[in-house]
């Protein structure tokens, strides 16, 4: 069980354990966008609407209370991070989620959230600026469940992962109580079957009268998962409950919060979904790297890394650590990198003021060492590099590449192997 979660949940949430933020080339949706997508497939969510101004928040609240005068109004800041309710705005205003009953409370919350920067345990000290709110009709939640659909290589297809312990970090549940996790593989040829959803619904302890509704939710979420080219659909919590102020017969199974991951290779099929990308929530360096065709993730060290290949990047960062250094980033130039991309990557890496030295580790295969060497020389001259640069080349046309570096007049340090390169990079600082 723990190995399944390690392969699936953790891999979809984080590319590297040392990464402070999710790799931004994977699309991240706001909560209101996720609920818009779920509405398209008939998934039951709370009534609500996004708001970009305080007036729009009031209008959304009035619409909710017009049909339910006793409704609670939940005002939620929209950022790409969790822990919003316990977060604090840099202005001093506390809480990115507010439960209101009156319109003037909604207006106060909206005015204090919009345009302000919210800091949570997941944003880091920089926080994220709030440009949108979601106003939801409040629920009376009777029980919280966890439900997810994941693509899992071990099963060769989708797997439902569920737990009666909803509203909690599923990884912590898997660690402390693995028996609380239920996994049900789905035959991707046949699709999700009633017996599959019944097994999950019963294991989660839904009330007998709500089991058919829980099954219907799972079926619709699976349809969303397949048709939207998802690699993960995570609902936490999937809740039994009813709207506050409404009659008891409104009891239903609600998707209260959702997190989606999508297959980037299918972005050409999912243009409407990818149009939802909010680059204001992302590190500008990540956005720029995406635009020029390299993969970049910022870390918190001081040695910038530039490599070709994700595996080589991981090995390079590990060797830096073993030699007492700290990698400042993950930057994969890819297998078909051009001279211009090398220059662009240099600019992105050196834009980080924490970078005090750079280690380039290239294994020439599809892209040849002489091409990379020429790119390095041009990039150093274009950027006007003033920090130590260590270069290790190996592979196709390596001697030609080394000759280009030696005759370039560029101030750099060459290395014979990866360990040598890491030692020299650490020593150069």
| CB-CB neighbours of 399 under 10 Å | 10
**Could you give the CA distance from residue 85 to residue 103 in angstroms, rounded to a whole number?**
20
Respond yes or no: is residue 282 known to be catalytic.
no
The radius of gyration of the chain from alpha carbons, rounded to an integer in Å, stands at 25
Identify the CA nearest to 354 among candidates 415, 416, 305, 417: 305
Query: How far, in Å, CA of 133 to CA of 106, rounded?
Result: 11
Main-chain phi, psi angles of 156, to 5 degrees: 70, 30
Q: Which of 233, 277, 236 is nearest to 33 (CA)?
A: 277
Active-site residue identified among 31, 50, 137, 146: 146
Q: Provide, for the chain, the percentages of residues in helix, strand and coil under a 3-state DSSP scheme, each rounded to the nearest 5.
A: 40, 25, 35
Q: Using CA atoms, how far apart are residues 298 and 283, in angstroms rounded to an integer?
A: 9
Q: Which of 31, 116, 234, 282 is catalytic?
A: 234
Distances (CA, A) of 324 to 70, 306, 317, 423, 427: 61, 18, 11, 9, 10
Q: H helices of 228-283, where?
A: 271-274
Active site residue 234: yes
Confirm if 298 and 351 have CB atoms less than 8 A apart. Answer: no
Q: How far apart are CA 80 and CA 366, in angstroms?
A: 36
Nearest to 215 by CA among 193, 240, 232, 189: 193
CA distance to 98, 148, 378, per residue, from 90 (Å): 17, 34, 42
What is the rounded (10 degree) CA torsion for 391, 396, 399, 405?
-40
Alpha helices, DSSP H only, in 181-210? 194-204
Indicate the DSSP class of residue 122. Answer: T
Query: Parallel, antiparallel, or unpaired: how do β-strands 329-332 and 357-364 relate?
Result: unpaired
Give, in order, the Cα–Cα distances in Å from 387 to each of 373, 414, 425.
Answer: 18, 15, 11
Catalytic residues: 146, 234
């Amino acid at each position: 069980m723990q190995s399944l979660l390690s392969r699936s949940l953790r891999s979809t949430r984080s590319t590297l354990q040392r990464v402070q933020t999710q790799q931004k080339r994977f699309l991240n949706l706001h909560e209101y966008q996720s609920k818009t997508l779920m509405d398209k497939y008939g998934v039951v969510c709370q009534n609500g609407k996004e708001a970009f101004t305080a007036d729009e928040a009031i209008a959304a609240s009035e619409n909710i209370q017009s049909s339910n005068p006793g409704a609670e109004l939940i005002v939620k800041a929209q950022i790409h991070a969790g822990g919003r309710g316990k977060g604090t705005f840099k202005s001093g205003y506390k809480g990115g989620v507010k439960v209101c009953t009156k319109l003037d409370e909604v207006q106060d919350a909206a005015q204090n959230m919009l345009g302000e920067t919210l800091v949570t345990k997941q944003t880091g000290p920089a926080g994220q600026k709030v440009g949108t709110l979601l106003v939801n009709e409040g629920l009376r939640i009777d029980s919280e469940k966890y439900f997810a659909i994941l693509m899992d290589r071990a099963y060769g297809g989708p797997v439902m992962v569920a737990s009666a312990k909803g509203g909690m970090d599923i990884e912590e549940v898997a660690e402390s109580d693995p028996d609380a996790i239920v996994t049900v593989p789905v035959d991707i040829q046949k699709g999700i079957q009633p017996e599959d959803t019944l097994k999950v619904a019963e294991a989660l302890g839904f009330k007998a009268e709500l089991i058919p509704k829980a099954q219907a939710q799972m079926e619709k979420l699976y349809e969303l998962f397949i048709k939207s080219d998802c690699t993960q659909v995570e609902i936490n919590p999937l809740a039994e409950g009813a709207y506050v102020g409404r009659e008891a017969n409104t009891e239903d199974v609600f998707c209260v919060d959702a997190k989606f991951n999508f297959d980037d290779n299918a972005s050409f099929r999912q243009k409407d979904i990818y149009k939802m990308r909010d680059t204001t929530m992302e590190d500008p360096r990540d956005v720029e790297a995406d635009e020029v065709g390299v993969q970049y993730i910022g870390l918190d060290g001081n040695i910038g890394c530039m490599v070709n290949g994700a595996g080589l990047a991981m090995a390079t960062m590990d060797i830096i650590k073993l030699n007492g250094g700290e990698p400042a980033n993950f930057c994969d130039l890819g297998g078909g990198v051009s001279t211009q991309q090398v220059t662009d990557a240099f600019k992105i890496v050196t834009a980080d003021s924490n970078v005090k030295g750079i280690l380039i580790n290239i294994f020439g295969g599809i892209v040849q060492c002489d091409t990379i060497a020429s790119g390095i020389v041009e990039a150093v001259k274009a950027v006007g590099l003033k920090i130590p640069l260590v270069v290790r080349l190996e592979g196709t046309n390596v001697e030609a590449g080394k000759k280009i570096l030696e005759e370039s007049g560029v101030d750099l340090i060459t290395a014979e192997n990866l360990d040598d390169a890491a030692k020299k990079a650490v020593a150069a600082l």
